[in-house]
Amino acid sequence: MEFIVGVFDHFIGNFGDSFRTEATRYWLGAGGIFLLTWVVFAGLLKNRRIRKPLPSKLRNKQMWREIRTSTLTVIVFTFCFSITNQLMIYFFGGSIFQIYSDVSDYGWAYLVFSVVLWSIGLDTYFYWTHRFMHHPKFYKFFHLTHHRSHNPTPFTAYSFAPSEAVLVYIFAPVFFILVPMHKTAFICAMLIQIFRNAIAHCGYEIFPRGWARHPILGIFTTVTHHDLHHEKGNGNYAFYFTFWDRIMGTEHPEYLARFDRATEAKEPMLNQVPAK
């Protein structure tokens, strides 16, 4: 009972700051990318639309749903942080996160390396949990909410069921327990994550022609890579990089051709019915 009371005390006492921080990050990423791709540069990007957008009424309805579910995700993240904090107090007497503030502890090279390590670790975690969530036994419980956005928008980034939000959250505390990370590196990693997430769902191919086929740049996923996942409902499970999909044979066979089409300034593909 003391543990439960501690969780709720921490949640209530820190809710304002924690929620504000996480919500600000979401709106910077999702809102910022929406403004850039759908408003400011909409004319410039009109021929880079991967698929034709939904009719405005359906699109607006979808975006409001995504904002509501994303707000719930932010609340879930905040509550999970309170549980994590109380678990560390209960079992260890305080935080066991290896987050430090003095750059000289590990040096600048390590600070940069830790962001790279975070990205590789997160992509690996995302790939395998993503495949897990697509298993028929778990899909409805974990991942159906996210895939209701068949033709995604930047606001789809955090449009999760609470169960998926918990699964997404788990990576960060485990990483901080295992790997030292400077506060600045942590902030950079989290900002990269939300902006990259919003870009992946923006519906416009912003990467230059030839990127997906380049021997080095092709390691990094494009907007088409994840958009194709939402369209087909399977394949292309990775987040930052393409190597897991290529190693495991889950890269969609149409990926490169679809990327080429999206970067050739032709008419966007028609919306298709989601794969069963």
Summarised one tens digit per residue, pLDDT across range 111-157 is 999 999 999 999 999 999 999 999 999 999 999 999 999 999 999 99
Please report whether residue 229 resides in a domain: no
Please name which of 11, 174, 168, 187 lies closest in space to residue 98, comparing C-alpha atoms.
Answer: 174
From the CA atom positions of the chain, what is the Rg in Å? 19
Q: What is the pLDDT of residue 168?
A: 98
Please report whether residue 274 resides in a domain: no
Q: What is the pLDDT of residue 273?
A: 44
30-53 mean pLDDT: 95
If pLDDT is split at 50, 70 and 90, which confidence band does 275 have?
Answer: very low
Please report whether residue 102 resides in a domain: yes
Contact criterion met (CB below 8 Å) for 252 and 229? yes
Summarised one tens digit per residue, pLDDT across range 77-116 is 998 988 888 888 878 888 899 999 999 999 999 999 999 9
How many separate domains does the chain show? 1
Q: What is the pLDDT of residue 2?
A: 61
Summarised one tens digit per residue, pLDDT across range 161-215 is 999 999 999 999 999 999 999 999 999 999 999 999 999 999 999 999 999 999 9
3-class secondary-structure state, position 133: helix
Q: Per this entry, what is the length of the chain?
A: 276
3-class secondary-structure state, position 128: helix
**Domain range enclosing 200:** 2-205
Please report whether residue 92 resides in a domain: yes
Please report whether residue 103 resides in a domain: yes
Residue with tokens 């009109």: 46
Please report whether residue 185 resides in a domain: yes
Please report whether residue 195 resides in a domain: yes
Q: What is the pLDDT of residue 229?
A: 98
